Amino acid sequence: MSIRQHLDEILVHLIRLEHPVVHRLRPGIPPDQIADMESQLPFLLSTELSALYAWRNGTTSLSSDILTDLYLIPGFYFPTLEEAVRMFYERRFSPQWRENWFPFLADGAGDFYAAPCCRESRTLQTEIIGFIHGEPVQETEFLSLENMLKTASLSYGAGIYFMDEDDTLDVDDTAYQALARNLNPGVSIWQS
């Protein structure tokens, strides 16, 4: 299944859950606009990241928005490509950040999902890092963006991701860990 198909499945689940983010997702952007934004970076985005922004260019947000209403997955919203480029430059020299990591999901408080990118050539896919601000070690959480999105889509479908009593996206951590372990074999964070 393609990145776009996984994203479309996630969108169907968000619609089913009547999550407000559905109305805030921006239209995707064409390859030439992605290339223009990419030219501001010291590396090339992976093919998977380009597919993500071709699907939707993040989320429209207003100062009056409640952050939880913007979540694409529990705890994280999807910034526009322009915002993500700014986030990269804001964190570029942070002690735990690596110079080739591109942030594509954010929690609004300094944590991100980031994809390592390459200077010399465009990679098809890369592992996904769960960046936790202030932690000395930043670990791989998914083997690829495709694996991350597949994990999310299946989590929505199985009720592992759900709307809690406050109408906020939440996660059944135990079930999620079991699913993530199964879909991302060898990734140490899911083994404990």
Give the model's pLDDT for residue 119.
Answer: 83
pLDDT, residue 20, reads: 95
Q: Any residues with CB less than 8 A from the CB of 45 and at least 6 apart, and which?
A: 34, 38, 53, 102, 115, 117, 122
Q: Measured between alpha carbons, how far is residue 170 from residues 19, 21, 68, 79, 160 in Å?
A: 12, 14, 10, 20, 8
- DSSP of 21-38, one letter per residue? GGGTEEEP--HHHHHHHH
What pLDDT shows up at residue 120? 78
Taking CA atoms, 57 is separated from 31, 40, 84, in Å, by: 12, 17, 10
CA Rg, the chain, in Å?
16
Structure tokens at 75: 């705890």
Q: Which residues of the chain have pLDDT under 50?
A: none
- CATH 3.40.1580.10 is held by the domain 3-185: yes
Residue spans per domain, the chain: 3-185
Amino acid (1-letter code) at residue 30: P
Q: What is the mean pLDDT of the chain?
A: 94
Residue 23: per-residue pLDDT: 95
- Give the model's pLDDT for residue 113: 98
Q: Name the DSSP letter for residue 84.
A: H
Three-class DSSP category at 51: helix
Indicate the pairing of strand 128-131 with strand 112-116.
Answer: antiparallel
